[in-house]
Each structure stands twice: as C-alpha cells, then as structure tokens.
Amino acid sequence: VQFSKLRLSGFKSFVDPTEMVIHPGMTGIVGPNGCGKSNLLEALRWVMGETSAKLIRGSEMDDVIFAGTSTRPSRNLAEVSLVLDNSQRLAPVAFNDHAELEISRRIEREAGSAYRINGKEVRARDVHLLFADASVGARSPALVGQGRIGAIINSKARDRRAILEEAAGIAGLHSRRHEAELRLKAAEGNLVRVDDVMGQLT
Ligand code: ATP
C-alpha cells in the first residue's frame, strides 16, 4: 500500500487544515528549524496508532493538540488522516474491497482519541494490525527521523533483528501469536478447573 495523502488539523503547529500529497518513492522533508518537519513525521506515527506520548515529544497525549501562540488561541481538537492508495489491492484482506483507505485519528482534550477507517469507527488494535500487516506502522523503520540512521547502525543485534522483522512484515504475526498464547493459557486453566470438578464428582 502506498501512502498518498496526509491531512492535519489542529495537530501541533498545524493548526489550520493542511494536506500533504505523498508521491511514490522516498519522501524527504526539508525546511528551516522549527517549521514543523518533525511534527509531520509525528503526525504520521500518531495516526498509525502511536501510544507513547514521549515518542512524539509530549508528556501526555493531549500535547499533540495545538496549544496556541501569542496570536492564536489553543484548540480542543486535533485530527490527522492518512489516505492509502490500495488500487493494487495489497491491503490486508479485511480492507481489500476499497481502492482507497482513509485512516483517521481524532483527539479531544481530556476525552482521549478515536480511530476511523473509511469513516467507520474502529479499535486502536484494528489500526495497529492494518499497518503491521502492511509492514509499516508507528514504530516503522521506514520513518527515519533525525539521528535514526546512526541509531540503526549502532543498535544491538537483537534490536536490529526487530527492525528487520518489522520490515519483512512479520510484526503483525508476532502480535497475533502473543494473543493466541494468552488464549491457550486461559483454556489450559479452564481444563485444570474442569479436571478438579470431575475429580470431585467421581
Ligand atoms: P527542527 O529542525 O529544529 O527539529 P522541525 O522543523 O522539525 O525543527 P518541529 O520540531 O517539528 O520542527 O516543530 C516545532 C514547532 O512546533 C515549534 O515551533 C513548536 O512551538 C511547535 N509546536 C509543537 N507542539 C505544538 C503544540 N501542541 N501547539 C502549538 N505548537 C506546537
């Protein structure tokens, strides 16, 4: 799947509705210090489900909402939408009947955030899995911030393996395996209980 558009409104310094068209291939963002380059990358991570406020340079999630300047009042709402071009039908099966997918996340001050896929409300987990299966995601190595290249080169073998696994598209499988293991454990617990009850009956 190809990212085709990023729309922001009220997100960090992007207070007015802003649309960025993303063309195929590698995208670089250039501009003077403080113009909002990192904020754009953070918007992309945020809409893909980033849950750590720290990783998008805030102390809490509400910090992504435009905080106001000396000339403009603050906002109570931030919204980011990411449009994916799925004309090649490469999205995970559950979403593959759409030629275009629009994932949006919206946050209201003190009320938390909500996600939508093509206008339909979904859980954060659905968004995480959609991107994990598409081999991208909030923590994807495809998003390279300042200093990241050095960090990848200097990272430990184990961390580098995680990066390669994500790039290879198996991060979603790991997450499903973890869930399956938890369910298996719960089922085993139930079996032990059934054995106990049978033991008492006989
Ligand atoms: P640099 O090259 O210095 O890293 P940059 O182009 O990456 O800069 P960012 O760090 O993305 O810029 O943008 C920083 C700007 O965003 C600052 O001017 C900061 O005041 C503004 N900003 C960040 N969060 C908010 C917010 N919640 N509300 C309003 N403005 C914000």
Residue 140 labeled ligand binder = no
CATH of 2-137, one of 3.40.50.300, 3.30.450.40, 1.10.3720.10, 3.40.50.150: 3.40.50.300
Q: Residue with the nearest Cα to atom 8 of ligand 1?
A: 34
What sign has the CA pseudo-torsion 63, 65, 69, 73? Answer: negative
| Å from CA of 137 to ligand 1 middle | 22
Segment 137-172, tens digit of pLDDT: 666 656 666 666 777 788 898 888 877 777 676 777
Compute the distance between CA of residue 66 and CA of residue 79 in angstroms, rounded to an integer: 10
What sign has the CA pseudo-torsion 188, 193, 194, 195? Answer: positive
Predicted structure pTM score? 0.75
The mean-pLDDT minimum among 45-59, 88-102, 135-149 falls in 135-149
**Cβ of 38 below 6 Å from ligand 1:** yes
> At 11, phi and psi to the nearest 5?
-90, 120
**Cβ of 13 below 6 Å from ligand 1:** yes
**Cβ of 99 below 6 Å from ligand 1:** no
Q: Residue with the nearest Cα to atom 13 of ligand 1?
A: 36
**Cβ of 116 below 6 Å from ligand 1:** no
